[in-house]
Structure 1
Amino acid sequence: MLARRSLLRAASQPSPLGAAPTNARNMATLREIEMRLKSVRNIEKITKSMKMIASTKLAKAQRAMTNGKEYGVANSEVFQNTSVDNPAKHKLFIVISSDKGLCGGIHSSVSKFTRRAIADKENPVDSDSPIMIIGDKSKAQLSRALPKNLAMTFNQIGRDIPTFADAAGVADLIVKSGIKYDSVAIVYNKFVSSISYEPAVMEVQTEDMLKESPGFKAYEMEEEATKDLTEFTLANAIFAALVEAHACEQSARRNAMDNASKNAGDMISTLQMQYNRGRQAAITNELVDIITGASAL
C-alpha cells in the first residue's frame, strides 16, 4: 500500500521538461543548451556581418594597392643601379602592421620575420638594430621579444585606406628622430592572392649609400638633391608597403570571419542535435512515468 502511494505521488508530480536525469549530474540541461544555441547564433550573425564589411573594404583596398604599387616600382628602378659592395649590417627595421585584430596570424607573420632577420647568421645584422613599428599589434609582440631594439612606434595609421600623407608623416618622423642606421628594411605582408599572403622585406638605401654607389658617383649632384631623393624614396616605399599590407589585412579578416561563421554553423548543428535528443529523452521519460502511474491505478 505504501509503495503504491509513493508511485502515485511520483506520477502526479512529473519532472519539468528539460531537466537533467538524477543520475547524470554533469549533463547539460535543455535550458543550458538553448542558451548556448542562442549565443552561438548571435555570434554567427556578427561574423557574417563582419565578413560582408571586410569584403567591401577588400575591393577598395585592392584598387588602392594597385595604384600604390607604382610607387614601389619607381623606387626599385632607382635602386637597381645604386648597389654597393658592402651590405649594411646596422639596419633600421620598419614593421608594418595595424591596430586591429580578428584577422588571423597576419601580425604574427611580420613579427616572426623580423625576429628571424635579426637572428639570421647567414646574413648577419647587428643585434641592436633599431626597430620602428606601425601598429599596436606587432608592437605588443615585439616588445616582449625584442624590447631593447624598439626605437619608435606609430598607431592610428591605416584605419582606413592609407594615403601618401600618412607615409610622408612617418618618413618625416623617422628622418627627424636622429637614429643612426646604414639602410632601411621595411617588413610587410605581400599580397599573393585573395586567400594568401606572405611576409616580405623592401630595402631602402640611405643618403650615404647612394653617394657611395657607382651609379651616383658618375654624376655631380648637390647634397640637398640627394637628401630630398632619399627622403622621397623612403616615403614612397613606406606608402607602397602600407597599401599592400592593408589589402592583406582585409583579405585575412574576411577569411577569418568566413571560417568563424562556418565553425559557428557546425556548432549550431551539433547543439541543435543535442537539444533535440535531450528533448526527446525528456518527453520519453515523462511518458514512461505517466504510463507507469496509469498501469498502477
Structure 2
Amino acid sequence: MFARQTQTAVRAAARPSTILATPPQARNMATLRELELRLKSVRNIEKITKSMKMIASTKLAKAQRAMQAGKQYGAANAEVFETVKEEAASGRKLFVVVSSDKGLCGGIHSSVTKATRRALANDKESPLADSANATVESDSPIMVVGDKSKAQLSRALGGNLVMTFNQIGRDVPTFADAAGVADLITKSGAEYDSVVLIYNKFVSALSYEPSAMVVKGEKSLKDSDAFKKYEMEDDFTKDLAEFSLANAVFSALVEGHACEISARRNAMDNASKNASDMIGSLTMQYNRGRQAAITNELVDIITGASAL
C-alpha cells in the first residue's frame, strides 16, 4: 500500500514538469512562424511606402509649377510694401500659421510650430530669431491653416488660438482658397496692425526652412507716411489690404504645399529603404533559424538510427 501511494505521488509531482516542457523543435518552429509573419508585414509596408513615394513624385512637378506661379503674388506684395519696410514690425501682430491636414511627411509641421513659438517668445524685430530657452509671454492672436499644427499649438498656445482652417491644400491650393482664408481673417474681429505669415519656404527638393512674411493691415497702411503722400479713399485702402493679404496667403499656401509633397516623397523614400534593410535582416534570421531546425531534426534521426 505504501509503495502504491509513493508511486502516485511521484507521478503527480512529475506531471507538471512534463506539461511545461517544450521540445526544442517546437520552440524553433514558433520562432520561425513569428519571423515569417513579420516578414510578410514588412513587405506589405514596403509596398505601401513605395506606392506613396511614386504618387508624391508625380504630384511634386505639379506642385512646383504652382509654386513658381504663386511666388509672383508674394513678389508683388514685397514691391508694394518696400517703401514702408521699416514700419512693418510695429504694432500688434496676428500670426497665421500655414500647414496642412495630412501627415507622413516628416517634421514639416513641427518646423512651423517651433517657428511660431520662437516668434511669440522673441522680440518684434526678428519673428524667427532663435532662442532655445525662451518662454512664451506674448498675447498675440494666432490663426492656423491645417489640423496638424493646430494640434501641436493647442497644447502650448491654446489661449492664443482664435481661428483654425482645415480642408485646404488637399490638392494644389488655388487663389480662391487664399481669398476665402483672407476674407475670414478680416471678418474675424481680431485686432491687428500687421499679419505675420509663418510657412515653410521651399529651398530644394530635399530641404525646406521655416520663413515669415509680414503683411500690413488697413490701419497701418493709412498711418504710413508713404501712403499719406497720395489721396486715396478709405475703400481703396481697405481693398488693397485685403487683396495684399490674399496674395500673401496664396503664395504661402502653394509654397507650403510644394514643401509638403517634397517632404512626403523623401519620407516615403527613407521608409522604403528602411523596410528593405529590415527585410534583409529578417530573411537572414529566418534562414538561420530554418537551417538550425533542420540540423536538429537530422541530429535526432541520426542519433535514433545509431541507437538501433
With the length of structure 2 as denominator, give the TM-score of the two structures.
0.87
Distance 2:89 2:171 in 1: 36
CA root-mean-square deviation: 1.9
Do the aligned partners of residues 84 and 16 (structure 1) sit closer, same or farther apart at CA in structure 2, a change above 3 Å counting? closer
Q: State the match for 1:80 in structure 2.
A: 82
Supply the AA of the counterpart residue of 1:69: K
User: In the alignment, which residue of structure 2 is the partner of 1:271?
Assistant: 282
SS at match of 2:189: coil
- Matched with 2:110 is 108
Tell me: CA distance 1:263–1:28, structure 2 relative to 1, closer, same or farther (3 Å).
farther
User: 2:33 aligned with 1:37, yes or no?
Assistant: no
**Cα separation, 1, equivalents of 2:204 and 2:66:** 15
Among residues 172, 195, 198, which one is paired with 2:206 in the alignment?
195
Contact 1:82–1:215 (Cα < 8 Å) also in 2: yes
AA paired with 1:42?
A: N
Rounded to whole Å, the distance in 1 between the matches of 2:88 and 2:236 is: 24
1:35 and 1:267 mapped to 2: Cα distance?
13
**TM-score, normalisation: structure 1:** 0.90
CA–CA distance in structure 1, aligned partners of residues 88 and 216 of structure 2: 12
Task: Tell me the SS of whatever aligns to 1:146.
Answer: helix
Structure 1 residue 213, shift from structure 2 partner:
1.8
What are the residue-to-residue correspondences of 1:44-55 with 2, within 5 Å? 44-55=46-57
8 Å CA contact retained: 1:104, 1:253: yes
- Structure 1, unmatched stretches of 5+, are 1-14, 22-26
Equivalent residue, structure 2, for 1:256 = 267
Aligned residues: 278
CA distance in 2, matches of 1:217, 1:69: 28
Q: Deviations over 1:13-41 (max 9, x none)?
A: xx696x325xxxxx961000000000000
Deviation per CA, 1:238-260, whole angstroms, max 9, x where unpaired?
Answer: 00000000000000000000000
Residues 1:164 and 2:172 aligned together: no
- Checking the alignment, whether the CA contact within 8 Å between 2:89 and 2:125 is kept in structure 1 is no
Any idea what SS the aligned residue of 1:87 has? coil
Shift of 1:83: 3.1
Q: What amino acid is aligned across from residue 138 of structure 2 in structure 1? A: S
Q: Secondary structure at the match of 1:153?
A: strand
Residues 144-178 of structure 1: per-residue CA shift (max 9 Å, x gap): 01010000000000000000000000000111111
| 2:121 is the counterpart of 1:119 | yes
> 243, 267, 272: which one pairs with 1:232?
243
Give CA-to-partner distance per residue, 1:84-124, whole Å, 9 cap, x none: 54832421000000000000000000000000110114748
More helix per residue? 2
Q: Distance in 2 between matches of 1:60 and 1:221?
A: 40
Matches within 5 A, 1:108-147: 108-121=110-123, 123=125, 127-147=138-158
The answer for the alignment partner of 1:20 in structure 2 is 27
CA gap 1:227/1:122 in 2 versus in 1, 3 angstroms: closer
The 8 Å contact of residues 88 and 214 in structure 2, kept in 1 or not, is answered as no
- Of 75-84 and 182-191, more deviation after overlay is shown by 75-84
Q: Secondary structure at the match of 1:55?
A: helix
**1:56 partner letter:** T
SS at match of 2:170: coil
Is this contact kept in 2: 1:37–1:268, CA < 8 A? yes
Check if 1:292 corresponds to 2:294. no
Structure 2 gap segments, 5+ residues each: 1-22, 128-136
CA contact (8 A) 1:84 1:212 kept: no
Q: Give the share of equivalent positions with the same residue, in percent.
A: 74
Structure 2 match to 1:149: 160
* Aligned counterparts of 1:84 and 1:123: Cα–Cα separation in 2: 10
Aligned to 2:213, the other structure's residue is in SS state strand
SS at match of 1:88: coil
Q: Partners of 1:122 and 1:202 in 2: how far apart?
A: 13
2:197 and 2:42 mapped to 1: Cα distance?
Answer: 40
Greater shift, 36-45 or 203-212, is seen at 203-212
Distance 2:263 2:223 in 1: 41
Secondary structure of 1:20 counterpart: helix
Q: What SS is found at the alignment partner of 1:148?
A: helix
Residue aligning to 1:208 = 219
Check 1:204–1:122 CA distance in 2 against 1; reply closer, same or farther (3 A cut).
Answer: closer
> Which secondary structure state, in structure 1, belongs to the residue aligned with residue 84 of structure 2?
coil
- 8 Å CA contact 2:173–2:250 kept in 1: the answer is yes
Kept in 2: contact 1:96–1:133 (CA 8 A): yes
Quick one: distance in 1 between partners of 2:147 and 2:279? 34
